Amino acid sequence: MSIARKILINTVAQVLGKAVVAILGLAVVKITTQYLSVEGYGEYVLIYEFLAFFGIAADLGLFTIAVREMSRDESQIPKIIGNILTLRTILVTVMMILAIAVAFLIPSYSNTKIPIGVAIASITVFLGILNGTTTSVLQAKLQMHIASITTVISKIVAVGLMLYIIFWGFPDDNETGFYMLIAAGNIGNFVMVITTDYYVRKITPLEFRFDWDFWKTILIKSTPYGLALILNTIYFRVDSLIISFIRGQGEVGIYGVAMKMLEHFAILPLYFMNSVLPVLTKAIKEGTDKYKKIITHAFDFLAALSIPMVVGGVILAYPIIFAVSTPEFLSQISEGFYGSDIAFQILIFALMFQFLNVLFAFILIAVNKQSKMLYINGVGVIFNIITNIIFIPYYGFRGAAVTSVLSELIILILTYIFAKRYIEFSINLKNFFKIVVSALIMGAVVYFSQPFTYSYMQNWNIIVLVPLGAAIYTGMLIATRVINKETLKLFKKGEETPINL
């Protein structure tokens, strides 16, 4: 099987798994926004946004660095995974205890459900990070279809429990139900840890190891990237915290619907680049030009995914938000109320920049220059916090959304500049132009099809418009030869020579 085909299968397995998880995740948004008030949903979102800061600190970039190190020498997998497992367990335990303490000490949270919610949800984060540790073995071995299966199983369990809580367990007791919804996530993640552990043990032993020299070496490599990830999380999530302090939990709820939806898509470039990283690292180490082709095709792939999302998201934002929430979250512009659909239309541009930014960040990781991300994300954080403090008091979540877009654009430009400094590569601008044109043609067809389909299906016309747009866009990629015979040959069984994507 060709390397390209392995990457494709690994990525497609993750994307398909993520698609199922995303559908289930949207179901969660739908049922929780109906069950909780706008303010209650704001508290629900804020708990996980708050924990994200501590969770990423517990990660410290160890997942990505572990994948890279295991890809370089697979014979060292037992040693690497054993020590990473110990390190991350210690880190996540310390960070979750700290998160709970901080949540109870923040005065504005004292009369809310947030502190107890953080204490319960910290278990979800703890289990998620442990699962992510063992998953790094599957990523290095390009067997992420297993991780996709275990994630889907855990999500089905969690959503099933949520449905029980809302419709049978506590239909009239929203306060107890609120905490039980969070506990459902704990049970789902516990199932995921158990099932992932079972499959990983077939590949390598899983046992805690205490190799102090290895800890020192790996922490030196991962800490700069880990700090960069912390900064990345700050500039991507601090807006929700600032909104909560300045504008209240209700506006966090409005903003949170769009954020929660886009989170499901933001993971896709990481899935893809985690699959590419082992191959890219080896190609760079070999010193051949193969890595240039990998980067070129990776950019095409990420652009081809993200650009139609922007076009379709802007056009269909209102019916999309209608489908996953309640009328309370939708804009009523005539009354001066801006809803989650407006936040979605703005934030979708940040998602596009984030897709492309991931490629250049992983190039820096592949050449062992991940420390540069610390400076880049530091600029993003400073810009993000200052602009959020300036604009949120006047424009609320709209100011935060625009700030997110500009922050991601700045990060993209800086990451590209740094990546070009350390390694030679090029972007196929001709293909990029074709992708943009294909997406715009798709958008035009969807836009002019809206009135006709609305007359029959109202806002549920997205059931028809999304597949229609996908079909037209795919057809345009084939017509413009972005997808051609040469591309398809790369993924045929038995092709060993090309490493192209």
φ, ψ for residue 490, nearest 5 deg: -60, -25
Count of all residues that appear for the chain in the document: 501
**Residue 140 · residue 70 · CB < 8 Å:** yes
φ, ψ for residue 337, nearest 5 deg: -105, 125
Q: What DSSP designation does 332 have?
A: B
Rounded CA separation 42/497 (Å)? 52
Cα–Cα distance list, 446 to 177, 265, 310, 348 (Å):
40, 21, 13, 17
Digitized pLDDT (tens) for each residue of the chain, 501 residues in all: 445 555 555 556 666 666 677 777 777 888 888 888 788 888 998 898 889 878 877 777 777 777 777 766 667 778 888 888 888 888 899 999 999 999 999 888 888 899 999 999 999 999 988 888 887 777 666 666 777 788 888 889 998 999 999 989 888 888 899 999 999 999 999 999 999 888 888 877 778 888 888 888 878 877 777 777 777 777 767 888 888 888 887 888 899 888 888 877 887 787 778 778 777 887 887 777 788 888 988 899 899 999 999 999 999 999 999 988 888 888 988 888 899 999 999 999 999 999 999 999 889 888 888 778 888 888 988 999 999 999 999 999 999 999 999 999 999 999 999 999 988 888 889 999 999 999 999 999 999 999 999 988 888 899 999 999 999 999 999 899 887 665 555 444 433 333 333
**What local confidence, expressed as pLDDT, does residue 485 receive?**
61
**What local confidence, expressed as pLDDT, does residue 494 receive?**
36
Cα–Cα distance list, 424 to 40, 282, 287, 460 (Å):
50, 16, 12, 47
| Token pair in block for residue 161 | 């429990």
Domain of residue 377 covers 3-427
Q: How many domains would you assign to the chain?
A: 1
Classify residue 8: in a domain, yes or no: yes
Q: What is the DSSP string of 277-319?
A: HHHHHHHHHHTSTHHHHHHHHHHHHHHHHHHHHHHHHHHHHHH
Model pTM score: 0.74
Classify residue 435: in a domain, yes or no: no
Could you tell me which residues come within 8 angstroms of residue 476 by beta carbon, excluding any fewer than 6 positions away?
Answer: 437, 438, 441, 442
φ, ψ for residue 332, nearest 5 deg: -130, 80
Classify residue 172: in a domain, yes or no: yes
CA 490 to chain centre: 27
Classify residue 468: in a domain, yes or no: no
Task: Choose among 362, 347, 203: nearest CA to 272.
Answer: 362
**What local confidence, expressed as pLDDT, does residue 101 receive?**
95
Sign of the alpha-carbon torsion through 250, 252, 253, 254: positive
Return the bridge partners of 245, or none. none
